[in-house]
Amino acid sequence: MLKLMKYEFRKLRNTLFAMLAALAALEVGFFAGHAMEKPVLTSICIGLISMLVFLVYAYIILAGMASYSRELKEKSGYLIFMTPVSPLGVVLSKLVFTALAALAATAVFGLTAYLDYRYMFGRMNIDPDILNQINLVLRFGLNADADIWQILRVAGFSVVTVLNEILLTMCTAYLAITLAATLLQNKKGFLRGLISLALFTALTWGSGWLAQRLLYDRVDTSATLNQLTGLLGWSLLLNIALGAVFVAASAWLLDRKVNL
């Protein structure tokens, strides 16, 4: 499984390193804009960094989907499924790599944002301590009943939930692609891709409908932070359960129904 993860990294490393180099160049532009008092340059770099964040996560997700689909359709993928690893291990290796890539991207962008924040507020002679800033917001009454640790707990849950949503999207796509391969054995072309997209849309809608009925319909608009934390926790568990079911179904289909 580790060897398969290394294989996944080798396929994406050039593009990921290029995106990392682009982030470094934009950071240089951001600091240079502040140093030379060029607010236009600073604003452009901030905007491009925001776009880069979206592009990196989109690339990680789409590249994982495209890689799996290509390996099911082309002979180059046969070597993957001929390794002494179970179909479940093959799917999990891709998901674990995606999770690690997303976590690495989150760490890099999070650290970058924190350093930029401290530098920017330091130049403005404003206390750059983010905890003090949050305390100020609370003091002015965004939520008088909430303390800083509740806010941070919800923020942490939100980050984990976003990462889990990425993995659930991957699990859903893998199941849709595998189902299409089952329905159209040894077929290629537009029809197979269209069926994969239709199945992915249906599975995504079904997951959203289930979450709405089980979780979100039970929470009113005046929910407290503690209730919101509980909602995020249950949402996380539901996503994990759905992801596990989708992965197990994909592995079973690969093992029993798909002609590799």
Residue 193: band (very low, low, confident or very high) from pLDDT cuts 50, 70, 90: confident
Q: Who has greater pLDDT, 4 or 80?
A: 4
Q: What are the residue boundaries of the structural domains of the chain, listed by start?
A: 1-128, 146-260
**Within 10 Å of residue 254's Cβ, how many Cβ atoms?**
21
pLDDT band at 245 (very low <50, low <70, confident <90, very high): very high
Burial class (CB in 10 A: 0-12, 13-18, 19+), 36: exposed
| Contact (Cβ atoms closer than 8 angstroms) between residue 65 and residue 177 | yes
Mean pLDDT of 77-87: 64
**Residue 25: per-residue pLDDT:** 93
Q: What is this structure's pTM?
A: 0.72
Q: What percent of the chain has pLDDT over 90?
A: 7
- Of 24-38, 207-221, 243-257, the least confident: 207-221
Neighbours of 42 (CB within 10 A): 20
Cβ contact 168:211 at 8 Å: no
Band of pLDDT at residue 18, cut at 50, 70 and 90: very high
Encode pLDDT of 97-153 as tens digits. 888 888 888 889 888 888 887 777 666 665 555 555 555 544 444 444 555 566 666
